[in-house]
Structure 1
Amino acid sequence: MDILDANETDTWSGGASFTLRNRLYRLAWLVTWTLLASWTPAPMHRWRMFLVRMFGGKTGRYGAIYPSADIWSPANIEMGEHACIGPGVKVYSMAKITFAPYALASQGAHLCAGTHDIEDPHFQLIARPITIGTRAWVAAEAFVGPGVTIGEGAVLGARGVTFRDLDPWSVNVGNPARKVRGRRRQS
């Protein structure tokens, strides 16, 4: 059983949504991040990416993770070259969250890969992956819901909210986010 599995079986039988092993892994991560990363100077990105890799995450050689980032499970993080998790970004990585090369989540953004089944009497957890495409930008304090793909070069504007995929090279704003214009392709 993988330490990241939300349930040990497909049918909930009561009790915690996560295995003891998973909860201990996340506790060890929290202690490690608190003691070895959260207080470090902002330029120490490589050190923080190293810690993410030590806990099962995948990062490119170059990129940035700021010390005030809040990563729920580093094993569910994949970062391409030059991707950035900015200050105060909440990465609720109950499922895989992928940052393609040059993807950026700005200060205070919230990437939430988990929700609950409101029709289930047990209110069961549902975890679905998020992908932030190459050169895409999730702006300050924006929210990205479970299962969303932010297309290549797409922008989710400040405080925007999306529970749906965003088209490549589009600019999207509001709650719910709506496309307001295209964006010039970059190479």
Structure 2
Amino acid sequence: MTPLDAKQARSREGGPSFPLSHRLLRLAWSLTWTLLGRWTPVPFHGWRRFLLCSFGADLHPTARVYPTVKVWYPPNLAMREHACLGPDVNCYCMDRIELGPYAVVSQGTYLCGGSHDVDDPHFQLITKPILIGCNAWVAAQAFVGPGVTVGEGAVLGARSVTVKNLEPYTIYAGNPAKLLRKRKLDGAGA
């Protein structure tokens, strides 16, 4: 039985969606982040990377995580070269969340890697990965739902909501996010 099958079986039986060991790791992480990470000065990105990596995150040495970021489960977080999670980002990584090189997730954004099956009488948990592509920008207070890929160089405008993939080098805004136009890069990027 795979871990996902076991999780689904527990949920169907009315039990918790995650095993005790998973929940204990999240508790230890929450205490560690509160005591050693959340209060640190902004420039201490290296220290916060160390804490996250100590709990299983896959972070490039140039990745930046601000002190007020909330990371639900560090082993599901990956950040590549110069990727950034800005202040007050909620990284609800119930499934893998990966930021490509130079990807920026701005303040107050919610990256949500899980939801529930509303047609299941047990309200089964569903998790899907999120990928924020290279040079993509998710602007302030946006929402990115489970299973979304924000394409390379794409922009999701402030306070926008997307539950669908965003095409590379395009700009989206609104709730739900709508395609506004292609990016004008004047020889840089694409």
TM-score by length of 1: 0.95
Which residue in the other structure is 1:8 paired with? 6
Q: Is 1:177 aligned to 2:174, yes or no?
A: no
**How far apart, in 2, do the equivalents of 1:113 and 1:142 lie?**
14
AA aligned to 2:36 is L
Residue 13 of structure 1: how far off its partner (Å) = 1.7
Q: Residue 8 of structure 2 contacts residue 17 of structure 2 at CA under 8 Å; is this kept in 1?
A: no
Which residue in the other structure is 1:147 paired with? 147
- After superposing on structure 2, the runs of 4+ consecutive aligned residues of structure 1 that deviate more than 4 Å are none
**What does 1:18-167 align with in structure 2 at a 5 Å threshold?**
18-167=18-167
Distance 1:123 1:107, change over 3 A: same
**How far apart, in 1, do the equivalents of 2:25 and 2:90 lie?**
18
- Structure 1: runs of 5+ lacking an equivalent: none
AA aligned to 1:56 is G
Residue 52 of structure 1: how far off its partner (Å) = 0.9
Residue 171 of structure 1: how far off its partner (Å) = 0.4
Distance 1:148 1:133, change over 3 A: same
**How far apart, in 2, do the equivalents of 1:50 and 1:136 lie?**
25
- After superposition, the C-alpha distances for 1:60-94 in whole angstroms (9 at most, x for unaligned) are 11021000001000110000010000000000000
SS of structure 1 residue aligned to 2:6: coil
SS of structure 1 residue aligned to 2:119: coil
**How far apart, in 2, do the equivalents of 1:141 and 1:6 lie?**
31
**How far apart, in 2, do the equivalents of 1:124 and 1:9 lie?**
10
SS of structure 2 residue aligned to 1:8: helix
Residue 164 of structure 1: how far off its partner (Å) = 0.1
SS of structure 2 residue aligned to 1:126: strand
Distance 1:40 1:178, change over 3 A: same
Q: Is 1:168 aligned to 2:168, yes or no?
A: yes
Distance 1:116 1:39, change over 3 A: same
AA aligned to 1:184 is K
Aligned residues between the structures: 185
TM-score by length of 2: 0.93
Q: Residue 7 of structure 2 contacts residue 17 of structure 2 at CA under 8 Å; is this kept in 1?
A: no
